[in-house]
Structure 1
Amino acid sequence: MRTAFIFLAMSLALPAVPARAAQTFTVEPATIADEKAVFATVESREVVPARVRTGGTIASLSVREGDWVQAGQIVATIGDEKLTLQKSALDAQIAGLKAQLEQAQTDLARAAALVARGIVSKAQFDAATTAADVAANALKARIAERSVLEQQLTEGQVLAPTAGRVLKVPVTADTVVMSGETIADIARADFVLRLRVPERHARFLKAGDEVRIDGRDIGKQGVTFGKIALVYPQIENGRVVADAQVAGLGDYFLGERIEVWISGGERRAFIVPAHFIVTRFGLDYARLRQANGTTIEVPIQRGREQPRPDMPDALEILSGLQAGDVLVQP
């Protein structure tokens, strides 16, 4: 019976698993951005107006505030009763000219047959030829006028000049508008964060600089990074204007204010991953590896979080560490 228990214990024994080596991090000074918090607004690079090309009355309005439109989409249709009456008059004239042309061509064919038999003179044949040419050219002129009128009717359709979001529609149906008036303001789809920072930061801002925002401000988790796309050369009211491209800004609300961290210069500091720091009773400690392989805990003073794309939980250490220290993850 004892032998059976010994055999069962041996059969249930698991193989030994070697202990996983502790993760380490070597402290080295790094150049970090001296970040400043500013507010930016979500804006479109361009707000393009959809304008009327011909005056008249708005017969139909097919968009409203908040709608998404594609480039070339019909925004509104402008109706002009005078153009419709002119088109009817031209259609009647074209019908009459076609009848005249048919009659002139018939007279020309008859004159050609008679002049061949010597019954009529050559002068009468030339007159019939001229009459046919005049009737044909008159018909072409009326058809050209009708084409111009049709183009004017086509221009009564107000088209969206670009794809984007309709911000404002200042008119309603049956409104009388003149040529050049705005039917709708359309914001292009490429939304950016527009920053306005004090001019003393002008020498620090440049295209390509990284900016940081809290992902919760745009409906995301964690920290989101972007880049300065354009710094405008004109300073407005003592502020430098710049556009930053950040993924996930959305395509609906404009003017939303978002806190943005930008670079206000550079400095040297110690940056370590936050998971190497342990907090007990309100004090922060870091575990250091000594030369003999043992570890000790030293108190440190933590600074501000400095999240980066390569180290999301980066933390600035103000005191307690020096270059070359090897941290051991708790």
Structure 2
Amino acid sequence: MNYQPPTGHEEDGRRMTQSYTTTTVDQPSDGNRTRNIVIAVILALVIALVAGWFALSATTEAPEKAGAGDQAPEITVIQPGSGTIEGTITATGTIAARRSLPVGVVGEGGRVVSVNVEQGQWVRAGQVLASIDRSVQNQQARAQAAQIQVARADAELAQNNLDRALQLVERGFVSTADVDRLTATRDAARARVDVAQAQLGELRERNARLSIVAPAAGLVLERNIEPGQTVSAGIASAFVIAQGGQMELRARVGEADLQQLGVGVAAEVSPVGSSERYTGQIWQIEPTVDEQSRQGTARIALAYRPGLRPGGFATATIRSGTTVAPLLPESAVLADDNGSYVYIVDKANTVQRRPVETGMITGQGIAITKGLTGNERIVLTAGGFLNPGERVNPVIRKK
């Protein structure tokens, strides 16, 4: 092929083409620039999504490769051991006099002329509490005293007649029959003296009974008569006295708890509205149980204190003996239709159900009388959310 140099027109065209090409590469247009930016942003988003997907995949696969023990929930457990537990029974009741003595009118009755004591005062045995008018009875006593004098005069005369008759019998002026009649007259006169004296003594005793007296020393709880009041014979409770001032709490105790109590058991009594606590002991357990409430009465003897007011309400804490057993918090003991139970964690860290029998309930927890030795690891809380055989990670709580 023969080479021909370009003509002048062809040279000019080549130069124009080169000039156009150089302009397109070095100075792009605005549309191309925008398109490049959009493409770069899209590529960045795609790269970010791919990287996130790989990170999520790695996170999801990590638990599958981890051990099963790392997934087990942490459960707090305790090992209670065994100890001596002092049982207590809480009961409520009413304060009353241990021996309440109603004092009434034992005489004929009448108008009250004086009342010598007030409620809350201490009295001694035989002290006059009140007096009833006895003006009529005093006149009757005086009349009876005069009758005694008459009877004595008759008896003296009969004795003199008999003495004279005995002197005349020896002379034959008086027969033996007359002596016997005079002797009988003398004896009858003496008997009338005795009768008159007995009647006077009766009147005096009746008069004395118009004074209302304290049958024993103690504290006056009630005063139910006033001066000027007319009272009848046999009124039952003009006064009420607490013998010796001794008090008691008549505590109402459930039938089951009653079996744990006995005479001599100590108790602490706290009246309602008072921060004071009084120490006493059971002196009697009533032999009957109320059919409706299924409760019995334990009578707790208390020494007199001003804060113990008969009729007031009080709470008693009674010591019901001691026992040696594991003691669990209430949260650890569950119950259903089959009875009480706990969850224990065995050596393989799996949950097992264990039936138990409960005993005393104290402020520190519930005594377990059967089913545990105290060395087990027992689930403290959240037992209701566990199932037997479930694997857990036990954390022992220190006592």
Question: How high is the TM-score relative to the length of structure 2?
Answer: 0.52
Partner of 2:191: 137
Partner of 1:30: 83
Q: Distance in 1 between matches of 2:231 and 2:302?
A: 39
Q: Aligned AA for 1:196?
A: R
Moved more, 258-267 or 234-243: 258-267
The 1:244/1:269 distance shift into structure 2, 3 A limit, reads farther
Partner of 1:261: 317
Partner of 1:43: 96
Tell me how large the CA RMSD over aligned residues is.
Answer: 3.7
Q: Distance in 1 between matches of 2:106 and 2:172?
A: 60
Partner of 1:159: 213
CA offset at residue 166 of structure 1? 0.9
Q: Aligned AA for 1:160?
A: A
Q: Distance in 1 between matches of 2:278 and 2:147?
A: 69
> Structure 2 matches for 1:261-280, cutoff 5 A?
261-262=317-318, 268=325
Task: Tell me if structure 2 keeps the 8 A contact 1:213–1:259.
Answer: yes
Task: Tell me if structure 1 keeps the 8 A contact 2:120–2:221.
Answer: yes
Deviation per CA, 1:197-241: give whole Å up to 9, x if none: 4556444444344434579x8887xx7654333222334462432
Q: Distance in 2 between matches of 1:241 and 1:224?
A: 19
The 1:267/1:179 distance shift into structure 2, 3 A limit, reads farther
Q: Distance in 1 between matches of 2:151 and 2:269?
A: 72
Gaps of 5+ in 2: 1-79, 328-361, 366-379, 381-396
SS at match of 2:170: helix
Match 1:101 to one of 155, 180, 186: 155
Q: Distance in 2 between matches of 1:36 and 1:126?
A: 85
Deviation per CA, 1:243-276: give whole Å up to 9, x if none: 2245674586323444433358967457xxxxxx
The 1:320/1:41 distance shift into structure 2, 3 A limit, reads farther
Q: Distance in 2 between matches of 1:165 and 1:107?
A: 62
Q: Distance in 1 between matches of 2:93 and 2:185?
A: 75
CA offset at residue 102 of structure 1? 1.9
Match 1:187 to one of 236, 242, 254: 242
CA offset at residue 167 of structure 1? 0.9
> Structure 2 matches for 1:206-217, cutoff 5 A?
206-212=262-268
Moved more, 120-129 or 178-187: 120-129
The answer to whether 1:55 aligns with 2:108 is yes
Q: How many residues of Structure 1 are paired with residues of Structure 2 in the alignment?
A: 251
Question: How high is the TM-score relative to the length of structure 1?
Answer: 0.62
SS at match of 1:262: strand
The answer to whether 1:320 aligns with 2:376 is no
Match 2:297 to one of 241, 244, 249: 241
The 1:218/1:113 distance shift into structure 2, 3 A limit, reads farther
Could you tell me the percent identity over the aligned residues?
27
Task: Tell me if structure 1 keeps the 8 A contact 2:92–2:314.
Answer: yes
SS at match of 2:179: helix
Partner of 2:126: 72
Match 2:224 to one of 170, 177, 185: 170
Normalized per residue, the structure richer in helix is 2
Q: Aligned AA for 1:244?
A: I
